Amino acid sequence: MEELLKGFEVPPKNSSEAALRRWRKLVTIVRNPRRRFRMIANLEKRSEAEQQKLKIKEKIRVALIVQKAALQFIDAAGPLDYKITDEVRQANFGIEPDELASIVHGHDIKRLKSHGGVDGIAEKVTVSLDEGVLSENVSTRQRIYGFNQYTEKPPRTFWMFVWDALQDLTLIILMICAVVSIGVGLATEGWPKGMYDGAGILLSIILVVLVTAISDYRQSLQFRDLDREKKKISVQVTRDGRRQQVSIYDLVVGDVVHLGIGDQVPADGLFISGYSMQIDESSLSGETDLVDIYEQKPFLLSGTKVRDGSAKMLVTAVGMRTEWGKLMETLNEGGEDETPLQVKLNGVATIIGKIGLTFAVLTFLVLTVRFLIEKALHNEFTKWSSTDALTLLDYFAIAVTIIVVAVPEGLPLAVTLSLAFAMKQLMDERALVRHLSACETMGSASCICTDKTGTLTTNHMVVNKIWICEKISNIGDNENKNIDELEIHESVFSIFLRSIFLNSSAEVVKDENGKNSILGTPTETALLEFGLLLSADHDAYRRRFKILKVEPFNSDRKKMSVLVALPEGRIQAFCKGAPEIVLRMCEKVVDSSGEVVLLSEERVRDITEAINGFASDALRTLCVAVKDVGETFNENGIPDSGYTLIAVFGIKDPVRPGVKEAVQTCLAAGITVRMVTGDNINTAKAIAKECGILTAEENAIEGPEFSSKSPDEMKDIIPNIQVMARSKPSDKLNFVTNLRNMFGEVVAVTGDGTNDAPALRQSDIGLAMGIAGTEDLPLSQLYNCFGLI
C-alpha cells in the first residue's frame, strides 16, 4: 500500500500548485468529486483569483508610483468643485465617501491640501483629533461611509448541499435503475406490486441524500462559526475622549487609530502624529522598500504593515472602499490546501475504489454469463421476457451496490470532520486554530521552541528591585510601604521620573468609571505603575515637556530613546533598554550623593554584579539613562553615546502555574522543549531551571554566539541547546531552520511579537500567544506572517 500511495504525497506546508494538481490527476475514479473536494482548494478558482489580485496590485502600484510622480507636474489649482449629496449634508458631514477615499488611494496631496489638510478632513467628517468619534455617531457614520467589512461569498443553503449529494454517479445510476424497475414492474406485475422494488431503491436514495446533505450543512455551519472566531481582532482607538479597544469591524470613518510596530493598518487613513513611522506596502504594491510616513507624506493604506515607529491615524475609508477590501474579496476563492493525511486518505479511497469497481464489473460479468449459460442450456436463449430484463437489472444493481459499499467516499470527509472537531476542542481551550492542517501536524511535533515572556511566565510584570544612586532597594510587589522607604536623592528624583514617564510608549487613560488604567506592553506598564506609586502626576509631566523625536523599541535595537525639550530651552535625551546595550552608551553615573561622576571600571563591575544578581533572581533587567544634548535639535537622530546611567530595574514576571508539569509531560512524551528568548542569559537560565527546561549550565547559549558558529559546529551543539538567550529574530530563525533541515525535527514555535514572525513562518507549527501573551503583535499580523496556527 505504501508503494501505491507514493504519488499521493504533498509537503505539509506551502505545497506548490504542481504538487496539488499531480495527486488529483491520480484520482481518476471519483464518484462525486463535487462533494469530495468541496472542503479543499479549488485550484481553478484560486488561479482566477490570483490573476485578479495581480491586476489590483498593478493598479495600486501605478497609483503609488506613477501617479505620485505625475502629480508633481500638475499646475496648482484652487479647491476642486464637487457636489455634496443631501444625505451627506443632513448627516452634518462636508465630504463625500468616494472623494475622501480617492484622496488616499491616489496619494493626492494637492487635493488633500485643497480640503485643508488632515485638520480640514477631520473638520469635514466632524471629529476632534483629540477626542475621537462619539459612540452615538457610529451608526450614522456607518450608514454614510460604510462598514469596515469585506464582501464575502454568500453562505451555501441547505438545498445546495442536497444538489451536491445528488451529483453522486452511483446514486444517479441507482435512480435510473429505480425508474426502469418501476416501469418494468408496472408493466408485468401491475399496481402496486410492481412499485415495490423501484420505490424501495428511491426511498434509500432519498435517505442517503438527506443524511449526506444534513451532515455537510451542519459541518459548513461549524466552519462558518470557526471562521467568525478567527476574525475577531481588536485595534486601539480614541473614542469619547479616551483610548479603548474596538473590533476592526466596528471601525468607522473619523476614528483615530493608534498604530505601533507589527500592526497591520486596519483601514485607509491619514497620518496625524507619530515618530519614525515606516510602512511596508509590499502586500499591496509589490514594492519591497519601506515607506516613510510623516506630515508631508501622510497616506496610509489598509493591509500595509508597520515595520517601525508609532503613529495616530485618521480613518478615511473602510471596507470595500479600500483597495485591500478588493484584494480580500479575491481571497474568498480557492479554499484551503489539503492536509497530507487528507491527500493520502483520498489516495486510499481511490485505490479501494478501483478494486471495488474491478470486483463489481467481475461480479456483473459472472452473474450475466451464468444467466446466459443457463438460458442456453434450457434452450431459451431466443426467448426473452420482462422477467429476464428485471433479472439483468438486479445483477446490475448488485454491481452498483458493491461499488457503493466498497468505495469509502466518506473517508476523506470523515478526516475533515475530525480535524474540525479538534479545532473546536482547541478553541474551547482558548487556542484558536488558523488552518486545519495544524491539528494534524501538532501530533507529530518532536521539538518545541518556546518564548519566555507571556508563554512560560504570566506576563504580568511589576518592578521588584531597583539599583539607583549605587544602592539596591527591594520593592517587593510594588508595595506602598517599600515605595515610601525608597531612597532617591532629591536632585535625581525629577530626572528619574522623566526617564519613566517621557520615554514610554504606554499611556495612562481613564476608563468608564474614571479610574486610571495603563495601555501598553507589560514592561512599559510595570515601569509606569512604579512611577505612579511614587505619587507623581503623569499627565503633568506629559504637558510640561515636549517630546521632539522618538526611536521606538524594537528587537534589533533593544532600546528606546526620546529627545525632550525642557521648559528652560535645553534638550535632553533619554534611553532605556537592555543593560548590555545601555551600559555601553554610558560614560557617567549618578553616585550615592546624587552627583554625576565618571563611570570607572570599578563602578562598571559593581553595576554588572547588580545586573547579574537581578538576573539570577529571575528578574528581567532594564537600564535607564539620560544625556544633556544642549539647545539644538538634531533631526538626524538621537545620540547613542555619552549618557549618564540613572537606574537599573529588576522586573518580576512570575512563572505561569502548571508550566513545570507541562514541560515534564512533553519530555515524557519524547518532545524536547527549548527556550528561545531575548532576555539576559542569567534571567533565562533562572526561569528555565524553575520550569525544568535547563538541566546543565553548558546547555545555554546566547544568540549572537550561536549564529557565529560554522555549520559543522552547529551540528555538534544544537542537540544539547536547551536555552538560547539574547536572541535576535535572525538567530531564532537560524536555530529553527537548522533543527528542521539538519535533524529533521518537526518544530513548533511560540511567538508574541514581530521579532518571532520569521521563525514562526519557518516552523512546522506556529503558535501565536495573542491572548495569553503580549499584545505586541496582533493576531491579524501573525496570521499574515506564518502558516499553521
C-beta neighbour count of 140 within 10 angstroms = 16
Rounded to an integer, what distance in angstroms lies between the CA atom of residue 640 and that of residue 557? 11
| Residue 25 pLDDT | 63
Grid cell 476632534 in the structure block, residue: 128
Query: Which residues neighbour 416 within 8 Å (Cβ) at sequence distance 6 or greater?
Result: 39, 219, 342, 436
- The C-alpha cell at 564 is 525632550
- Where on the phi/psi map is residue 117: left (φ > 0), alpha (ψ -120 to 50), or beta? left
Profile the chain (789 residues) by mean pLDDT over runs of 10 residues.
55 60 59 56 64 68 56 46 79 88 83 88 90 88 86 77 75 73 70 75 79 75 66 80 84 89 84 83 70 85 82 89 70 54 66 77 88 81 74 78 65 65 69 65 82 79 88 73 65 86 80 70 85 77 84 80 86 90 92 88 91 88 90 71 92 86 89 88 89 88 90 90 88 88 85 69 73 35 33
Between the CA of residue 698 and those of 612, 645, 715, 720, what are the distances in Å? 17, 32, 16, 9
Q: Which amino acid would we find at residue 217? A: Y
Under CATH, which number does the domain 430-457+656-788 receive? 3.40.50.1000
| Residue 74 pLDDT | 45
Rounded to an integer, what distance in angstroms lies between the CA atom of residue 710 and that of residue 742? 13
Rounded to an integer, what distance in angstroms lies between the CA atom of residue 322 and that of residue 302? 7
pTM here?
Answer: 0.62
Grid cell 547579574 in the structure block, residue: 612
With 0-12 / 13-18 / 19 or more C-beta atoms within 10 angstroms meaning exposed / middle / buried, residue 547 is middle
- From the list 220, 221, 216, the residue with the least C-alpha distance to 35 is 216
Report whether 700 contacts 723 (CB < 8 A): yes
> In terms of DSSP bridges, do strands 571-577 and 559-565 run parallel, antiparallel, or are they unpaired?
antiparallel
Maximum distance among all alpha carbons in the chain? 126
Residue positions annotated with a catalytic role: 451
Rounded to an integer, what distance in angstroms lies between the CA atom of residue 299 and that of residue 316? 10
Q: Percent helix, strand and coil across the chain, each rounded to 5?
A: 50, 20, 35
| Residue 422 pLDDT | 72
Angle (nearest 5°) at CA 680 between 674 and 682 = 75
| Residue 625 pLDDT | 94
Under CATH, which number does the domain 462-652 receive? 3.40.1110.10
**In this structure, is the dihedral angle defined by the CA atoms of residues 306, 312, 316 and 319, taken in order, positive or negative?**
positive
Q: Which CATH architecture has domain 95-148+251-332?
A: Distorted Sandwich (2.70)
With 0-12 / 13-18 / 19 or more C-beta atoms within 10 angstroms meaning exposed / middle / buried, residue 507 is middle
Cis peptide leading into residue 155 (ω within 30°): no
